[in-house]
Chains A and B, each alone.
Chain A
Amino acid sequence: MLPVPSLAENASMFCFVLILLVPLAWIGVGLLNAGLGRSRSAAHAVLTCLCSGGIAVTTFVIFGYSWQATAANSGHFVSVGTHSWNLLASQPFFLRGSRLDLSAESLIVLLQIFSVALAAIIPLSAGSDRWRLGPACISSALLAGVVYPVFAHWVWGGGWLAQLGTNVGVGRGFVDAGGASTIQITGGLTALSITWILGPRRGKFSPQDMPAGIPGHNAVFALVGCLFAWIGWLGLNTAGAILFAGCQISAVVLIVVNTTLSAVAAALTMSALTKARFGRPDASLCANGWMSGLVASSAAAPFVKPASAIIVGIIAGVIVVYSIDLLEARLTIDDPAGAISVHAVAGVWGLFAVSLLTGAASSGQWLAQLAGVCTLFGFVLPFTYGLNWILDRFYRQRVDEEGEMQGMDLYELGAGAYPEFVTHHDEFLPR
């Protein structure tokens, strides 16, 4: 069983402050979603982040956490041979079984509330310009109430994935301190499900499946979003390491260094690759690169040395640029902000980096990480796709053609994000 750490009062307060940084990641992802989408849907993008995140938090508090809980809480077990495997927690709804008093358990509750919101807003960019607000919110509720808590229990709540080490000696069990699997890959796979259900934006692919470029409307939003996300990730990785990986408070310096190095290395790699391919660095792809470095660091940051963190970031940057290309150009998957590549693909790399770059591969840690990745693709992906598919049958998720032409802002909200968009002709006169 993964124990809940016992923290001294100073350590609890410090961990609380770290957790308060996590909503900055929410802001960062929201800005990224808005910036990499079209201007006619900018307000809708940010409003959907607010509403989806809020509904995710509420749903999680009402009943999601009841199924996730912590290793110290009661749960539903299944006995196989001599081993007992923890499948699901069984706590009361509305957090009635949890003490919210700066104890380690209460800090876990708080971190999970912020984490589930982050997981819920990751898929929003994949549905940019065509995902209606109402269905997006219900989809977030399904993610926060059902999909996320079940998998997070298996990883962080003392569930069977975490027990692989103690029960059958597979490494230390599945390890993921900062949520690469529970938050990032879960969000990325939900984004994949959404792109499959919604289909591409109008005009994105020609009849011959050639993709047309639909650039984001505001690179500044996207890049500033990366900076906010960086601060949020520092809180996420450090608090996650203390609460879920048993790291000491003194380890936060290493984690912050590794998180930063991974993001920087990924962004610079992406910058170099896009300059080599296109003659100039691409701002939006560099933003994706930065984010992929953060995502990849989520699993590995507490366990690797700084030099290895740079390698994690470089490989994340390389993988993501080719993944974005593959998904769009070859597989006709329209993912405006690259959520699938940045969160799912980079997250998978981050999980394997834990075993490959820490010398733990020989102890079977890679097998535990592989089991976790297989669970994501074999359970989370079909589950989230199935729920969204059923939702689509009852409550159409995609906006109609008129809405897509007008833009989500005007069609769903009645007002554009930039109502006073004026082109000043005199600024373009020769001087």
Chain B
Amino acid sequence: MKLMSFGLLAGGWVIVVAATWLLHVPLVRTLFVIAGSAIQVMGLVLAVRAHKMSSSEKG
């Protein structure tokens, strides 16, 4: 689960980089950057949940 969370973090970042490098229309670029950030937020939430679950298991 933690691996997946880091995948989401990195994937969101790639979307942000691609949007800033490739998209020239400001509104479209902004929307894609926000979308990439939202994916990163999901990844961070998943990472925190994975940590909580593993802490509970070690208990």
Residues of chain A touching chain B, judged by Cβ–Cβ distance below 8 Å, are 80-81, 83, 85, 160, 164, 168, 170, 196, 199-200, 205, 207, 209, 331-333, 364, 367, 370-371, 373-375, 377-379, 381-382, 385-386
Task: Scan residues 22-59 of chain B and give those whose CB is less than 8 A from a CB of chain A.
Answer: 22, 24, 26, 29-30, 33-34, 36-37, 40, 43-44, 47-48, 51-52, 55-56, 58-59
Interfacial chain A residues near B51, Cβ < 8 Å = 196, 331-333
**B30→A367 contact, CB < 8 A:** yes
**B13→A378 contact, CB < 8 A:** yes
Interfacial chain B residues near A168, Cβ < 8 Å = 20-21, 24
**B33→A371 contact, CB < 8 A:** yes
Residues of chain B touching chain A, judged by Cβ–Cβ distance below 8 Å, are 2, 6, 9-14, 16-17, 20-22, 24, 26, 29-30, 33-34, 36-37, 40, 43-44, 47-48, 51-52, 55-56, 58-59
Interfacial chain B residues near A377, Cβ < 8 Å = 9, 12-13, 40, 43-44
Q: How far apart sit A333 and B44, CA to CA, in the bound complex (Å)?
A: 14
**B16→A371 contact, CB < 8 A:** yes
Contact status of A379 and B13, CB under 8 A, knowing A83-B21, A168-B24: yes
Of the candidates B40, B47, B55, B58, the one whose C-beta lies within 8 Å of that of A374 is B40
**B56→A374 contact, CB < 8 A:** no
Q: How far apart sit A179 and B48, CA to CA, in the bound complex (Å)?
A: 26
Q: How far apart sit A373 and B37, CA to CA, in the bound complex (Å)?
A: 9
**A374→B59 contact, CB < 8 A:** no
Q: How far apart sit A196 and B17, CA to CA, in the bound complex (Å)?
A: 27
**B55→A207 contact, CB < 8 A:** no
Q: How far apart sit A331 and B53, CA to CA, in the bound complex (Å)?
A: 10
**A378→B9 contact, CB < 8 A:** yes
Interfacial chain A residues near B13, Cβ < 8 Å = 374-375, 377-379
6 A-B pairs with least C-beta separation: A378-B13, A382-B6, A374-B16, A378-B9, A80-B21, A332-B55
Which partner residue on chain B sits nearest A331 by CB separation?
A: B48
Minimum Cβ distance to chain B for residue A48 (Å): 24
Interfacial chain B residues near A205, Cβ < 8 Å = 55
Q: How far apart sit A203 and B5, CA to CA, in the bound complex (Å)?
A: 28
**A378→B14 contact, CB < 8 A:** yes
**B22→A80 contact, CB < 8 A:** yes
Given contacts A209-B52, A374-B16, 17 further A-B contacts (CB under 8 A): A80-B21, A196-B47, A199-B58, A331-B52, A332-B52, A333-B51, A367-B29, A370-B34, A374-B12, A375-B13, A375-B16, A375-B17, A377-B12, A378-B11, A378-B12, A382-B9, A386-B6
Which partner residue on chain B sits nearest A381 by CB separation?
A: B9
Of the candidates A374, A379, A381, the one whose C-beta lies within 8 Å of that of B36 is A374
Contact status of A364 and B10, CB under 8 A, knowing A200-B55, A371-B20: no
Which partner residue on chain A sits nearest B37 by CB separation?
A: A374
Q: How far apart sit A84 and B51, CA to CA, in the bound complex (Å)?
A: 39
Contact status of A370 and B33, CB under 8 A, knowing A378-B12, A381-B9: yes
For B17, B26, B30, B37, the residue with the greatest tally of chain A CB atoms inside 10 Å of its CB is B17
